[in-house]
Amino acid sequence: MAKIGVIGAGSWGIALAKLLYKNGHEITVWSILEDEIEMLKVNHEHKTKLPGVILPREIMFTTDLKKTVDEKDILVLAVPSPFVRKTAKSMAVLVKENQIIVNVAKGIEEESLMTMSEVISDEIPSANVVVLSGPSHAEEVGRGIPTTIVIGAREKKIAEFIQNIFMSDVFRVYVSPDICGIELGAALKNVVALAAGIADGLGYGDNTKAALITRGIAEITRLGIAMGGKTETFSGLSGIGDLIVTCASVHSRNRKAGYLIGQGKTMEEAMNEVQMVVEGVYSAKAAMGLAEKYKVTLPIIEQVNKVLFENKPAAEAVKDLMLRDKKDEYQSLPW
């Protein structure tokens, strides 16, 4: 049995807390929100973010960050990506040397262009940061629906240790050394999912969505390889796997926000209606910053930025994508 602190009581943190408890571990869950913790203590259910998922009474809930971090074998950092740096900064004075921190947030920091593991390492240099990603909606993980993910770590023994902690008959875990590729796929699929949602909101069909998924993974792979990620990662769980589920699922907040934008709502109106952090909005600008830094073209992500931040009509963005210069699908293939 491991002692595990889950930092963040949103849908993903709660779903993982339940999974880890069922795997036989001692779980403490932290939130900065007193009302949220009180609701969890009283109801043993997150009524707003994960309704219907009943939590074991043995899981501890607290607003005391020190109590959550102290003497834990593993910390799971499950706050939304815009809050990762602030939370890591608060944790830094409490974390022991070489503490394993499993980051499950997906995003790129707009100002620094850092991935979430880089942000955590920047604030807590002594930590051993691991990443967890893949096609895994909290709504399904919380209900015990079979799910497969990948763990990325610098050392194989650490990856395998975390693999054993999370693995169950409904949660299959693979390991990989490609932290960069895993995190980039996880962050940028949210931006492409916004595009897929916009297409749905415009009333387009399966042909359009398939095109966005296929060409979207091509963009993510181009940038990922330029940044040092591995080709295999983008054809795996945290690449095409996560992209498919996020573009297609009714649980996807990014797809839902895009759908509302496609129907004519502004970015702000869409985010307010979703009532959860739409991480693709925060990663979209950062993706273009990375594209400029690494001299990579990202036409879909570029058009998403124009729709989000320059009030470009969504239908016009789709038209501009369709009428780009003619190209070979793969320039490396010989005739």
113 CB contacts (<8 Å, ≥6 apart)?
Answer: 286, 289, 290, 293
CB atoms within 10 A of CB 286: 22
**CA gap 2, 184 in Å, rounded:** 29
pLDDT, average across residues 26-42: 97
Write down the domain spans for the chain: 3-177, 180-322
CATH architecture of 180-322: Orthogonal Bundle (1.10)
* Length of the chain in terms of residues written: 335
Indicate the pLDDT class of residue 278, thresholds 50, 70 and 90: confident
Q: Name the burial class of residue 315, with classes exposed (0-12), middle (13-18) and buried (19+) by CB atoms within 10 angstroms of its CB.
A: middle
Tokens of 184: 């980039």
pLDDT at 275: 77
CB atoms within 10 A of CB 40: 23
The answer to whether the beta carbons of residues 162 and 104 sit under 8 Å apart is no
CB atoms within 10 A of CB 156: 12
**CA gap 81, 113 in Å, rounded:** 12
The answer to whether the beta carbons of residues 22 and 168 sit under 8 Å apart is yes
Q: Please identify which of the residues 49, 189, 209, 285 carries the catalytic annotation.
A: 189
pLDDT tens digits for range 173-230: 999 999 999 999 999 999 999 999 999 999 999 999 999 999 999 999 999 999 999 9
The answer to whether the beta carbons of residues 15 and 141 sit under 8 Å apart is yes
Q: Is 189 an active-site residue?
A: yes
Q: Which CATH superfamily is domain 3-177 in?
A: NAD(P)-binding Rossmann-like Domain (3.40.50.720)
- 34-38, 108-112, 179-183, 264-268: least confidently modelled range: 264-268
The answer to whether the beta carbons of residues 184 and 160 sit under 8 Å apart is no
Indicate the pLDDT class of residue 327, thresholds 50, 70 and 90: confident
pLDDT at 284: 93
CA distances to 82, 108, 219 from 288, rounded to whole Å, are: 17, 11, 11
Q: Is 282's pLDDT higher than 90?
A: no
Question: For the chain, what is the radius of gyration of the CA atoms?
Answer: 20
pLDDT, average across residues 296-314: 94
Task: Please name the helix (run of DSSP H) or strand (run of DSSP E) that holds residue 262, with its range, or none.
Answer: helix 253-262
Instruction: Give the residue from 132, 130, 114, 110 showing the smallest Cα distance to 122.
Output: 114
pLDDT, average across residues 276-292: 89
pLDDT, average across residues 140-166: 98
- Say which residue the tokens 């990922």 belong to: 224
Q: Is 260's pLDDT higher than 90?
A: yes
Q: Is 276's pLDDT higher than 80?
A: no
| pTM for the predicted model, two decimal places | 0.93
The answer to whether the beta carbons of residues 115 and 145 sit under 8 Å apart is no
